[in-house]
Amino acid sequence: MDLKLGGKRAIVTGGSRGIGLAVARALAAEGARVALTARDAEALKTARDQVAADGGDVLVLSADSTDDDAVRDAVARTVEKFGGVDILVNAAARPAQGGASRAVTDLVDDDLRAEMETKVLGYLRFARAVAPHMTAQGWGRIINVSGLNARWTGDTFGSMRNVAVSALTKNLADELGPHGVNVTVVHPGLTVTERTPQLFAGIAAAQGISADEAESRLAASSSLRRLITAAEVADVVAFLASPRSVAINGDAIPVGGGAPGSIYY
């Protein structure tokens, strides 16, 4: 299927690693021109080489999503380089907590402030900066990468930030939809990225089991009984970024391989 992404102009935040990088590569492989943003300039250089290898026209921009001036500058530079912006994928966020949940008495106010500042307000800042360009041209796609903690307990702040991203998504969808801009949110579960071997090793050491056993136990949380890879999440995001996804707007799409025993309708 041709996703009709050839020549589309995309910004991917958090594009230097993990799901963000996988999304950038998927979009580039479909012919999109991609601007990668992240805080780590050195990681961005490595990411640029990987995305360019997939055939894409790549721009890298060191930008912190907690800084509104930096966000607006990154969008302006993308528009200057590419002549506009069609797609925004928000993926810049702190990794989910993982491990044992914290009791309410151990929750720290500043930790929540950091979560909301980086993920929720960061996503809003980029959406706010690209919206005028998309509405002016009558077409656009914004995809927010959130997480299944929006539907699960066990990580209080993780749930709060991800539910907030879903609320942001729906509000933007209703406002921007009449102008041709679709806004969606995807909820990955635990996803295989470059950081998962370290996660498996940490769980194995804490529980006195092998890394393979740690991975197996985590995989049991998926209806597929295996973990989804960043590239598999990126395939879904690439579809949502395409003109073919027009029937989906304001909705949350889980991309964690299915939750055993749960029915969502």
The per-residue b/e assignment along 139-170, b for 16 or more CB within 10 angstroms, e otherwise, is: bbbbbbbbbbbbbbeebbbbbbbbbbbbebbb
Whether 211 maps to a domain, the answer reads yes
Distance separating alpha carbons of residues 24 and 34, to the nearest angstrom: 7
pLDDT of residue 262: 86
On whether both 247 and 132 belong to a single domain, the answer is: yes
On whether both 129 and 210 belong to a single domain, the answer is: no
Whether 1 maps to a domain, the answer reads no
On whether both 184 and 198 belong to a single domain, the answer is: no
Whether 263 maps to a domain, the answer reads no
Residues 74, 63 contacting (CB under 8 angstroms): yes
Q: How confident is the model at residue 8 (pLDDT cuts 50, 70, 90)?
A: very high
What range defines the domain where residue 216 resides? 193-226
On whether both 134 and 246 belong to a single domain, the answer is: yes
On whether both 75 and 95 belong to a single domain, the answer is: yes
On whether both 112 and 208 belong to a single domain, the answer is: no
Q: How confident is the model at residue 265 (pLDDT cuts 50, 70, 90)?
A: confident
pLDDT of residue 1: 84
**Phi–psi pair at 138, nearest 5 degrees:** 75, 20
Whether the per-residue pLDDT at 97 is higher than 80: the answer is no
- 1: how many CB neighbours lie within 10 A of its CB? 6
Q: How confident is the model at residue 99 (pLDDT cuts 50, 70, 90)?
A: low
- 259: how many CB neighbours lie within 10 A of its CB? 16
On whether both 132 and 213 belong to a single domain, the answer is: no
On whether both 198 and 143 belong to a single domain, the answer is: no
Distance separating alpha carbons of residues 94 and 103, to the nearest angstrom: 20
* 261: Cβ contacts below 8 Å, ≥ 6 apart: none
Residues 24, 53 contacting (CB under 8 angstroms): no
Over residues 205-212, the mean pLDDT reads 90
Over residues 11-30, the mean pLDDT reads 97
- pTM of the entire structure? 0.95
What is the Cα 112 distance to its own chain's centre?
Answer: 19
Mean pLDDT of the chain: 94
Whether 128 maps to a domain, the answer reads yes
On whether both 143 and 217 belong to a single domain, the answer is: no
Based on the structure, what is the number of domains in the chain? 2
Q: Kindly report the CATH number assigned to the domain that includes residue 120.
A: 3.40.50.720
On whether both 159 and 134 belong to a single domain, the answer is: yes
Q: How confident is the model at residue 91 (pLDDT cuts 50, 70, 90)?
A: very high
Q: How confident is the model at residue 122 (pLDDT cuts 50, 70, 90)?
A: very high
Whether the per-residue pLDDT at 264 is higher than 90: the answer is no
Q: How confident is the model at residue 98 (pLDDT cuts 50, 70, 90)?
A: low
The rounded percent of the chain whose pLDDT value lies above 70 is 98
pLDDT tens-place string over residues 37-63: 999 999 999 999 999 998 779 999 999
Tokens 């151990």, residue? 106
pLDDT of residue 263: 87
- Provide Rg for the chain, Cα atoms: 18
On whether both 49 and 149 belong to a single domain, the answer is: yes
